[in-house]
Structure 1
């Protein structure tokens, strides 16, 4: 079984009855670096009291709002608000990844998160808003290398879990963000259906 098919069997592409849940979407944005490689954009969330994911590495995105025409439109809007990057003008949509089920930040209500992949063709300048502490571009080759994978000890009420993660400089990519990253890397390793291609 290929890595792509293994991921697709691990969780459904679209969660049934997802429209009955709270929904959010994120944008996985890659660009071509000066040396011809591919880099993926991450944001580090601003540190806020009471936010369980305060300071975590993530992809830009957020909850769907009534004015959003679609989940993809919400990812584009949130990216513009959080980073100043206009995906509608300078992004090229590539593919929709699998839905993930999580919970709302402030309560135990389930929430469905849908990731969308874009190629960035705009300016290198980024303008983070108050929700973002910083923006980091990470080489895909680094993210895919086995020696850069690790484990993060995460304490819960039921005990301590060892969560898979990837450390980059002083940042740690884990949780839902790591799961989305692994699906993207699995697709990128499939030359026939890779959303990350030379253009």
Structure 2
């Protein structure tokens, strides 16, 4: 399956995230999530997410943005210690404080897990979640989300008191369709 690239993405504000997985000693696979720091005025304060952020003028590519932001937020150096595996489909969201659209591109990395995590002020904690748990139908749920037009029941996955929903949940669904086994090859 080839990732969807939005044709107008270069005309909009861009952001990128890194979906980082590791293999465990028992043969399982875990995915790294960050819990965003709680901040006044941030509508996603405390939410579960993947490390990442907005592209800056110094970033050569959106993938470089994901690598830079991951290093800043978690201390994980994907350039030196990660293995790029895939690019997922572009998603459209909006800026935190505005209604202007923003394109988010997810990149998938395998991480051997040997480097310590060092969180910055944007991240409250990291949580490793087993992929088998994330894929299990019985762990899928709904999150009531209030909007000016009414309440929506958004799909989500709940794990030990955390709730993975929204863009992160959409990215997760595409990731679950990939082969992340130890012999997986890099995808386009």
TM-score (norm 2): 0.95
CA distance in 2, matches of 1:59, 1:77: 13
Aligned to 1:190: none
How big is the shift at 1:121?
1.8
Aligned to 2:96: 105
The within-5 A match list for 1:130-169 is 130-169=121-160
Q: Which has the higher helix share?
A: 1
1:54-106 deviation digits (Å, cap 9, x = unpaired): 11000000000000010000000000000000000000000000000000111
Q: CA RMSD in A?
A: 1.1
2:67 to 40, 61, 76: 76
CA distance in 2, matches of 1:186, 1:92: 19
CA distance in 2, matches of 1:54, 1:16: 31
Q: Does 1:47 align with 2:47?
A: no
Q: Does 1:197 align with 2:178?
A: no
How big is the shift at 1:29?
0.2
Q: Secondary structure at the match of 1:98?
A: coil
CA distance in 1, matches of 2:71, 2:115: 14
Aligned to 1:191: none
Q: Secondary structure at the match of 2:25?
A: coil
CA distance in 1, matches of 2:59, 2:181: 29
CA distance in 2, matches of 1:184, 1:80: 21
Alignment size in residue pairs:
183
Q: Which aligned runs of 4 or more in structure 1 are off by greater than 4 angstroms? A: none
On the 8 A contact 2:22/2:113 being kept in 1, the answer is no
2:85 to 94, 99, 102: 94
Q: Secondary structure at the match of 2:177?
A: helix
2:50 to 52, 55, 59: 59
CA distance in 1, matches of 2:8, 2:142: 33
